[in-house]
């Protein structure tokens, strides 16, 4: 109860920090927020050429398939990276004034979430171009999108706690992220792996479950409930562990930064 | 007797003083296997208790490493004490390293809102006070320039203006009475004095005894994390000089004591004259 009250009192600061993240991201660039549309669109073009045309894979809707995966993955990777650095980055503030420390990683996740939300609008013109039309399943994209937030929150809280004490975690996480990326089926179809005996690696990667469900909803299929459950289990589990670890260790942060 | 604004009870603060800071995995595991993870414990503060009332101005004296800054940080809430409890009534504003919380890519205007909300002021309040902050800081048209292009003086001027825009119940000063140029210094000193008269509780760290005597009504001497003396500033000033002059010749110490008493008399007489003048004017 006490915590909720403090949170409510400090919502102004949380909002300021979120605003700062968004504002500073594109400051001094000519196209500004337009980059949120352009950047994913351009990378999709590159990936489509490389994996679709050169390697001869994918059909007409392949660009939409790639863009979904890439946007969700890059939200996960950018936010977790930003959150794990956030405590150290704001150390000058933390050393001076008492502020609930979870506001720093939380704001890094939130501003990236908002930017990703804006970037997702790129899907509209691209879907039209690729003849992917909305169905009744379309609104269900919200389910994996919310699960993605939980997963990212949990991972970020754990990472930001660990990184304060062990800076190596930043570099280790880069490597882990690469593994997560390749097992998330971002630019290939997972069907080929289905019977290979390695499929379980994909299946128990929560990010893969989230991305696939997002695509199912986009392409007019029902969600895979097993994937929803796996992602939710990870999301809730990591969030509980992350919040607990952060809460237990936050008073020692100041001694380590 | 005013109401109590700050109660510090049995506060102790323990640090782990390891020779090298262990903040990577390799170091950590090597030490873990060697059974070498024991740190040297070090109490920066121990059994510190005192109470301040509304309008009290406490000077904290002590040599380097006596625990002054640690105490201020515990009171500001930045450090959580290892043991004991700090109870604060109302808002605490620390005027330490002014402008350290600024984002250097942000303009002055944006930093007013960022830093303001960091100190716990609401957006509406900052909207209302915005013009006043800018005016007091004297930054004029520079307010829309990114802070990274500010001089350090401009930065601390802006920091001071934001931090003191509301009257906090507890103000923490770290020899801060020298912000910016002569003009601004005068302005800021006046503002702090106004606050003191308005009943703000002030904690003031300084090496300069005359400064403490000028500003404070109470004083405290810290030595190796413990309170050696606490009381009215006149008494403590005496104790402090004696402490510093321990090795001096007896006669010199006597003379110094006399000088101190004379100075106190001069100060008291000045106050009297001031009072009399005030009465005459009325």
Question: Of B262, B259, B222, B224, nearest to B60 (Cα)?
Answer: B222
> Among B47-56, B65-74, B208-217, which stretch is predicted with the lowest mean pLDDT?
B208-217
Q: Are A160 and A154 in contact (CB under 8 A)?
A: no
Provide the pLDDT for residue B179.
67
Q: What is the pLDDT of residue B177?
A: 61
* ipTM of the complex, rounded to two decimals: 0.82
Which of A73-82, A157-166, B37-46 has the least mean pLDDT? B37-46
Q: What is the mean pLDDT of residues B15-30?
A: 67
Taking residues B162-174, report their average pLDDT. Answer: 85
Structure tokens at A55: 């390697």
A166-170, B118-122, B241-245: least confident range: B241-245
pLDDT at A115 over 60: yes
Say what percent of chain A tops pLDDT 90.
52
Tell whether the model's pLDDT for residue A178 goes beyond 70: yes
Count other Cβ atoms within 10 Å, centred on residue B12. 17
Q: Which residue has the tokens 């040297």?
A: B40
- Confidence class for position A112, pLDDT limits 50, 70, 90: very high
CB B62 within 8 A of CB B225: no
Cβ-Cβ contacts under 8 Å between A and B: the total is 70
List the single range of A29-33, B29-33, B61-65, B120-124 with lowest mean pLDDT. B29-33
- Classify strands B57-61 and B201-205 as parallel, antiparallel or unpaired: parallel
**Residues of A with CB below 8 A from B123's CB?**
12
Question: What residues in B contact A95, CB-CB < 8 Å?
Answer: 73, 78, 100
User: Which B positions 64-83 lie with beta carbon below 8 A of chain A?
Assistant: 73, 76-80
pLDDT of residue A132: 87
Higher pLDDT, A141 or A97: A141
- Top pLDDT among A105 and A54 is at A105
CB within 8 Å: B100 and A98: no
pLDDT class for B224, splitting at 50, 70, 90? confident
Predicted local distance difference test score (pLDDT) of residue A218 = 92
Q: Do A94 and B78 touch (CB under 8 A)?
A: yes
pLDDT tens, B231-252? 898 888 888 887 777 766 777 7
Contacts of A255 in chain B (CB under 8 A): 15-16
For A10, residues 6+ apart whose C-beta sits below 8 A from its C-beta are: A99, A100, A103, B120
Residues belonging to chain A with any Cβ–Cβ distance to chain B shorter than 8 Å: 9-10, 12-13, 15-17, 20, 23-24, 27, 92-99, 165-168, 172, 251, 254-256
Please enumerate in sequence order all residues whose Cβ is within 8 A of that of A118, keeping only pairs 6 or more positions apart, or say none. Answer: A33, A36, A37
Where is A202: in which H helix or E strand? helix A199-203
Mean pLDDT, chain B, whole residue set: 83
Select from B15, B18, B25, B26 the residue whose CB has the most chain A CBs within 10 Å, as the one to mutate to test that interface.
B25
Q: Which residues pair with B135 in a beta bridge?
A: none
How is chain A split into domains, by residue range? 18-256
Q: How close B88 comes to chain A (CA, Å)?
A: 13
pLDDT exceeds cutoff 80 at B19? no
Mean per-residue pLDDT, B79-105? 83
Spatial contact of A250 and A256, defined as CB atoms under 8 Å apart: no
Contact assignment for A255 to B15 by CB distance below 8 Å: yes
- Tens-digit pLDDT profile for residues B175-218: 656 667 788 888 888 888 888 888 888 898 887 788 788 888 89
* CA A20 to chain CA mean position, Å: 19
Whether pLDDT at A177 is above 90: yes
Q: From edge to edge, which strands make up the β-sheet containing B57-61?
A: B92-95, B170-174, B201-205, B57-61, B218-223, B226-232
Q: In the prediction, which pLDDT does A77 show?
A: 96
Contact state of A16 with B113 under an 8 Å Cβ cutoff: yes
What pLDDT shows up at residue B272? 87
The residue ranking higher by pLDDT, A21 or A257, is A21
Q: What is the pLDDT of residue A57?
A: 67
Chain B interface mutation, best of A6, A8, A97, highest count of B Cβ atoms under 10 Å: A97
What number is the average pLDDT over the span A211-236?
Answer: 94
B120: chain A residues, CB-CB within 8 Å: 9-10, 13
Q: Where are the alpha helices (DSSP H) in chain B?
A: 25-34, 68-76, 108-118, 123-137, 152-163, 182-197, 209-215, 233-244, 250-281
Answer whether B78 sits within 8 Å of A16, measured CB to CB. Answer: no
The DSSP symbol for B150 reads S
Cα four-point dihedral sign B159, B165, B171, B175: positive
**Selected residue of A9, A13, A251 to mutate for chain B interface (largest B Cβ count, 10 A):** A13
Give burial (CB, 10 Å; 0-12/13-18/19+) of A2.
exposed
The pLDDT assigned to A232 comes to: 96
Write out the DSSP string of B84-106.
EEEEE-S-EEEESSTTTT--TTS
Structure tokens at B107: 């303009």
Find residues 116-155 of chain B whose CB sits inside 8 Å of chain A.
Answer: 117-120, 122-123
Q: State how far residue B78 is from chain A, nearest Cα, in angstroms.
A: 5
Q: Which residue of chain B has the CA closest to A94?
A: B78
| Model confidence at B282: pLDDT above 90 | no
- What local confidence, expressed as pLDDT, does residue A86 receive? 92
- Looking at CA atoms only, how far is residue B93 from chain A in angstroms? 8
Q: Note the pLDDT of residue A7.
A: 84
Q: What is the pLDDT of residue B39?
A: 62
Q: What is the pLDDT of residue A85?
A: 92
- What integer pLDDT is reported at residue A79 of this predicted model? 96
Tell which wins on pLDDT, A200 or A224. Answer: A224
Contact with chain A for residue B16, Cβ under 8 A = yes
Average pLDDT over residues A47-52: 83
pLDDT at A244: 94
Q: Is the pLDDT at A235 greater than 90, yes or no? A: yes
Q: CB–CB of B100 and A93 under 8 A?
A: yes
* pLDDT exceeds 80 at position A50: yes
User: Could you say which DSSP state residue B131 is in?
Assistant: H
pLDDT of B247: 65
Higher pLDDT, B32 or B144: B144
Across the interface, of B16, B25, B114, the residue whose CB is closest to A20 is B114
Residue B40 vs residue B102, higher pLDDT = B102
Higher pLDDT, A81 or B92: A81
Which 3 state secondary structure label does DSSP give A29? coil
The rounded distance, in Å, linking the Cα atoms of B125 and B127 is 5
Using an 8 Å CB-CB cutoff, list chain B residues near A254.
78-79
Long-range pairs for A160-164 at CB < 8 Å and ≥24 separation? A160/A83, A160/A84, A160/A86, A160/A87, A160/A104, A160/A105, A160/A246, A161/A242, A161/A245, A161/A246, A161/A249, A161/A250, A162/A84, A163/A84, A163/A85, A163/A87, A163/A88, A164/A87, A164/A88, A164/A249, A164/A253, A164/A256, A164/A257
- Tokens representing B68? 């002054």
- pLDDT in the model for residue B274: 85
H or E stretch including A45? helix A35-47
């Amino acid at each position: 109860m006490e915590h909720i009250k403090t949170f409510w009192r400090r919502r102004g600061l949380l909002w300021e920090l979120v605003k700062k993240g968004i504002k500073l991201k594109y400051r001094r660039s000519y196209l500004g927020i337009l980059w949120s549309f352009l950047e994913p669109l351009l990378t999709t073009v590159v990936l489509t050429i490389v994996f679709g045309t050169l390697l001869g894979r994918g059909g007409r809707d392949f660009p939409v398939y790639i863009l979904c995966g890439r946007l969700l993955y890059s939200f996960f990777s950018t936010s977790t990276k930003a959150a794990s650095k956030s405590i150290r980055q704001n150390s000058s503030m933390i050393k001076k004034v008492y502020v609930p420390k979870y506001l720093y990683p939380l704001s890094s996740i939130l501003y990236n979430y908002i930017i990703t939300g804006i970037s997702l609008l790129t899907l509209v013109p691209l879907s039209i171009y690729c003849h992917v039309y909305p169905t009744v399943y379309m609104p269900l994209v919200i389910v994996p999108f919310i699960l993605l937030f939980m997963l990212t929150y949990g991972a970020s809280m754990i990472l930001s706690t660990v990184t304060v004490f062990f800076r190596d975690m930043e570099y280790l996480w880069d490597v882990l992220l690469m593994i997560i990326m390749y097992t998330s089926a971002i630019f290939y179809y997972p069907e080929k792996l289905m019977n290979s005996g390695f499929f379980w690696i994909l299946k128990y990667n929560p990010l893969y479950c989230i991305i696939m469900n997002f695509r199912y909803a986009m392409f007019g299929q029902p969600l895979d409930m097993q994937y929803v459950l796996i992602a939710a289990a990870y999301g809730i589990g990591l969030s509980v562990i992350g919040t607990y670890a952060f809460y237990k260790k936050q008073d020692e942060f100041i001694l380590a930064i | 007797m005013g109401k109590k604004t700050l109660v510090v009870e049995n506060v102790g603060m323990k640090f782990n003083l390891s020779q090298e800071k262990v903040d990577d995995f390799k170091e950590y595991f090597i030490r873990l296997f060697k059974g070498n993870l024991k740190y040297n414990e070090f109490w920066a503060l121990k059994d510190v208790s005192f109470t301040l009332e509304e309008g009290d101005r406490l000077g904290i004296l002590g040599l380097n490493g006596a625990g002054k800054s640690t105490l201020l940080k515990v009171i500001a809430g930045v450090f959580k004490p290892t043991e004991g409890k700090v109870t604060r009534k109302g808002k605490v504003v620390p005027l330490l390293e002014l402008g350290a919380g600024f984002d250097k890519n942000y303009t002055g205007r944006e930093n007013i809102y960022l830093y303001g909300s960091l100190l716990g002021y609401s957006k509406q309040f900052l909207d209302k006070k915005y013009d006043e902050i800018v005016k007091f800081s004297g930054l004029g048209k520079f307010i829309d320039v990114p802070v990274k292009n500010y001089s350090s003086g401009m930065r601390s001027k802006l920091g001071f203006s934001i931090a003191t825009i509301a009257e906090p119940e507890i103000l923490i000063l770290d020899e801060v009475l020298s912000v910016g140029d002569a003009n601004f210094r005068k302005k800021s000193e006046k503002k702090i004095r106004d606050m003191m008269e308005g009943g703000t509780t002030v904690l003031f760290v300084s090496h300069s005894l005359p400064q403490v005597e000028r500003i404070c009504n109470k004083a405290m001497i810290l030595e190796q994390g413990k309170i050696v003396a606490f009381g009215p500033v006149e008494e403590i000033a005496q104790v402090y000089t004696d402490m510093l002059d321990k090795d001096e010749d007896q006669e010199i110490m006597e003379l110094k004591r006399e000088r101190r008493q004379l100075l106190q008399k001069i100060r008291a007489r000045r106050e009297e004259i001031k009072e009399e003048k005030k009465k005459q004017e009325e």
